[in-house]
Amino acid sequence: MLAKCYSYLMSKLNTVRMYLHHAPKLSEATDLYQHKVTLLDGGEFDLSNLRGHPTLIVNTASKCGFTPQYEGLQSIYERYHERGLEIIGTPSGDFADQEFEQAQEIGAFCQKNYGVAFPLTERMSVREDPAPLWHDLTLQPNSAPPKWNFTKYLIGADGRLIKHWGSMTKPDGPAITAAIESALGD
């Protein structure tokens, strides 16, 4: 019983620490396409291949109240991909451990329930102990670490952050689609 209470208390303390930690912001935007990530299938993906394309990067989770946003993400991927938009989902368990542990479980869930066709990275930390891409993403001017699952970051064709939105903003809503249209510029 004591061990269970201790574990619960430590979990809550780590969550508080995660939200209180604030890294200094960069004074100028940097190229986020300089990173490489590991995909859900284990392959490496070099983000420099995205240069010339705006990209929406989203921290995702399969067991979250915002999980139905996968439908909106897939919808805008289908709507704008031929015009140049890329989307990358990053499964993460940082917020209440709402992601499956195994890559196969994540992939099967996303495919079966939402028909996800855009790339998904391996499960990684986006805030607690952020992976290099997420560390750099949140240090950009006018950026912030995700406060919960399904925070969205629009990266320009030049690899620099354009804007970010919280979990409550729907990916296929007017705020994000207007920014995508502007980033596509055609």
Sheet holding 161-165, edge to edge: 86-91, 55-60, 152-155, 161-165
Residue ranges of the chain whose pLDDT lies below 50: none
- Residue 27 has a pLDDT of 74
Helix 103-114 crosses helix 69-80 at what angle (to 10 degrees)? Answer: 70
Which pLDDT belongs to residue 166?
A: 96
Residues β-bridged to residue 86 = 55
Work out whether strand 152-155 and strand 161-165 pair parallel, antiparallel, or are unpaired.
Answer: antiparallel
pTM: 0.87
**Is residue 110 among the annotated active site residues?**
no
- Show me where the domains of the chain are located: 2-184
Reduce the secondary structure of the chain to three states and give it as a string.
CHHHHHHHHHHHHHHHHHHHCCCCCCCCCCCHHHCEEEECCCCEEEHHHHCCCCEEEEEECCCCCCCCHHHHHHHHHHHHHHHCCEEEEEECCCCCCCCCCCHHHHHHHHHHHHCCCCCEECCCCCCCCCCHHHHHHHHCCCCCCCCCCCCEEEECCCCCEEEEECCCCCCCCHHHHHHHHHHHCC
Angle made by CA atoms 81, 49, 110, in degrees to the nearest 5: 50
Res 28: pLDDT: 86
pLDDT at 128: 87
Summarised one tens digit per residue, pLDDT across range 14-37 is 555 555 556 676 678 889 999 999
For residue 60, the model assigns a pLDDT of 98
- With contact defined as beta carbons under 8 Å apart, do 74 and 114 qualify? yes
Fold of 2-184: Glutaredoxin (3.40.30)
Distance CA 115, CA 129 (A): 30
pLDDT at 20: 54
User: Among 15, 18, 51, 64, which one carries the catalytic annotation?
Assistant: 64
pLDDT for res 58: 98
Do the Cβ atoms of 177 and 160 come closer than 8 Å?
Answer: no
